[in-house]
């Protein structure tokens, strides 16, 4: 019976996430960007991205101050004795630095330049970025986790992005 329950739990963890896709029709304006990594491409231990680029209404790259980027995620089963949400900045692993997402090093296989945190199926893995002023966002480019072919499953499959508390995108990220 315990084995059946464990197998059922594994199947539920691997089941596709039921979400309603959404893309904003109007260019959003705001200062507070919240990115929620919801599901991987199959990895049960880690979830990550390589980079994010933000562009203003004139098509210029918006610089992001590394000190204005924060994250929070639900502890994995490995981190049982942790608080209900963890900031990866409490860990010395360079891959757990959310500022890596805005460092401009997006065409790389160097995992220390990417962002990777423990994954909890059905959990929230949140990255928050506070911009210095209100901007109109014309484009957001996401570079998925790609340290190597073996670890491509650690990449984010399903993501939700809000800008000043309004959903601007919910859906699948290309592998």
Q: Tell me if residue 62 falls in helix, strand or coil.
A: coil
Return the pLDDT at 93: 78
Per-residue pLDDT tens listing for the chain (175 residues): 655 555 555 555 544 556 777 777 889 999 999 999 999 999 999 999 999 999 999 999 999 999 999 988 765 544 444 444 445 555 677 888 999 999 999 999 999 999 999 999 999 999 999 999 999 999 999 999 988 888 899 999 999 999 999 999 999 999 8
What phi-psi label fits residue 42: left (phi over 0), alpha (psi between -120 and 50 degrees) or beta? left
Q: What pTM value is reported for the model?
A: 0.81
Return the pLDDT at 84: 45
Residues paired with residue 70 on neighbouring β-strands, in sequence order = 128
CA distance 118 to 113: 17
Q: Tell me if residue 171 falls in helix, strand or coil.
A: strand
The four Cα atoms 11, 13, 19, 23 give a dihedral, to 10 degrees, of: -130
Q: Tell me if residue 43 falls in helix, strand or coil.
A: coil
What is the Cβ-side half-sphere exposure of residue 77, based on CA atoms within 13 angstroms? 4
Q: Residue 47: enclosing H or E segment and its boundaries?
A: strand 46-56
CA distance 25 to 109: 34
Return the pLDDT at 9: 52
The DSSP code sequence of 74-98 is ---GGGTTS-SSB-GGGS--GGG-G
Contacts (Cβ under 8 Å, ≥6 apart) of 60: none
């Amino acid at each position: 019976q315990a084995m059946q329950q464990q197998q059922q739990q594994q199947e539920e963890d691997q089941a596709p996430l039921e979400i309603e896709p959404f893309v904003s029709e109007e260019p959003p304006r705001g200062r507070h960007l919240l990115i929620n990594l919801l599901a991987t491409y199959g990895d049960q231990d880690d979830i990550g991205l390589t980079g994010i680029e933000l562009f203003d209404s004139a098509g210029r790259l918006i610089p992001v101050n590394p000190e204005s980027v924060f994250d929070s995620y639900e502890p994995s089963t490995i981190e049982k004795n942790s608080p209900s949400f963890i900031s990866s900045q409490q860990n010395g692993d360079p891959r757990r630095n959310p500022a890596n997402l805005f460092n401009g090093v997006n065409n790389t296989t160097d995992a220390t330049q990417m962002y990777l945190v423990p994954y909890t199926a059905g959990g929230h893995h949140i990255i928050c970025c506070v911009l210095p002023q209100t901007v109109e966002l014309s484009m957001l480019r996401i570079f998925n986790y790609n340290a190597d072919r073996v670890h491509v499953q650690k990449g984010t499959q399903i993501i939700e992005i809000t800008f000043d508390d309004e959903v601007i995108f919910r859906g699948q990220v290309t592998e």
